Amino acid sequence: MKFSHPEADVLVPAAGAPAEAALRSVTHLCVAAHQDDIEIMAQSGISDCIGSPGRAFGGVVVTDGAGSPRSGAYRSFTDEQMIAVRRKEQREAARIGGYAIQVQLAHPSADVKKPGHPGVAADLDALFAGCAPGVVFLHNPADKHDTHVAVLLRCLEAIGRLPQERRPARVLGCEVWRDLDWLPDADKVALDSGRHPDLALRLLEAFDSQVAGGKRYDIAAVGRRSANATFNASHATDGPAGITWAVDLTPVTRDGGPSLRQFVSSLVSRFGGDVARRLEEWA
């Protein structure tokens, strides 16, 4: 399996399995911008596949991680050293999480932000053509991290280049940098990220260069899941112990569907309407 960047990395944790077959087996695919995004946004997909015959999780990280923040023991690391550390951490997470395949495309963030970058487009085309997942986890279009939004756009472009019948059955945009609690309840997809809590923590702790370097994603991601579950419904007391919110982007991937901008504007205006309605009702 060959990708366009010379530093691209493919790991198949199960010994002896060819990469093409591992990719083909993927039922739950997450394509994210950076090392550790998968473990923050797609814990429910990882959980769905753990110990479930016939299900397989695939992770794709599009960028090289060169721009990662660094402090503490990592303070003096060069970009090259950071790239190497983050690649190793992502490989370790894939092993811990029992992924069928982990691909790291190693593109500089600036290339991903260029619409039509041939290497990025060719790699994503090959990945989406090489599997037929029932669900794809992507970044959400209201995320405030530019690279996350760029990766989402490149993925939607690649999905749009597939024949309609080959497009994933379900495409979800998941929260990382900006949560999705603001979405009106009817527009929210609750991903159960409260299962396998020990595994979830180990996955987040695999990214020592971030966690020990001062970005406590281990505490923050688990805390947000727990907060989402608790603040989900004011009266109910049961339900998942952790929720990751997502928005169903499938309509955007269908011929004749809304553009991403139309789709997001409609969500934002429904949110505005929900706030205004309550203020009016109780004034």
Binding site for Zn ion (CB under 5 A): 33-34, 37
Residue (34 or 224) nearer to Zn ion, CB: 34
Residue (24 or 178) nearer to Zn ion, CB: 178
Cβ 139 to Zn ion shortest distance, Å: 8
Q: Is 160 exposed, middle or buried (0-12, 13-18, 19+ CB in 10 A)?
A: middle
Tokens coding 158 = 């690649």
Cβ 144 to Zn ion shortest distance, Å: 11
Residue (219 or 233) nearer to Zn ion, CB: 219
Cβ 31 to Zn ion shortest distance, Å: 12
Cβ 33 to Zn ion shortest distance, Å: 4
Cβ 61 to Zn ion shortest distance, Å: 9
| Ordered strands of the 9-11 beta sheet | 9-11, 101-107, 57-63, 28-32, 135-139, 170-174, 243-248, 189-192
Q: Report which of 48, 14, 76 is spatially closest to residue 134, judged by C-alpha positions.
A: 48
Q: Closest CB to Zn ion belongs to which residue?
A: 34
Residue (34 or 87) nearer to Zn ion, CB: 34
Whole-Å CA distances, 59 to 108, 209, 267:
18, 19, 28
Residue (123 or 175) nearer to Zn ion, CB: 175
Cα 136–chain centre separation? 9
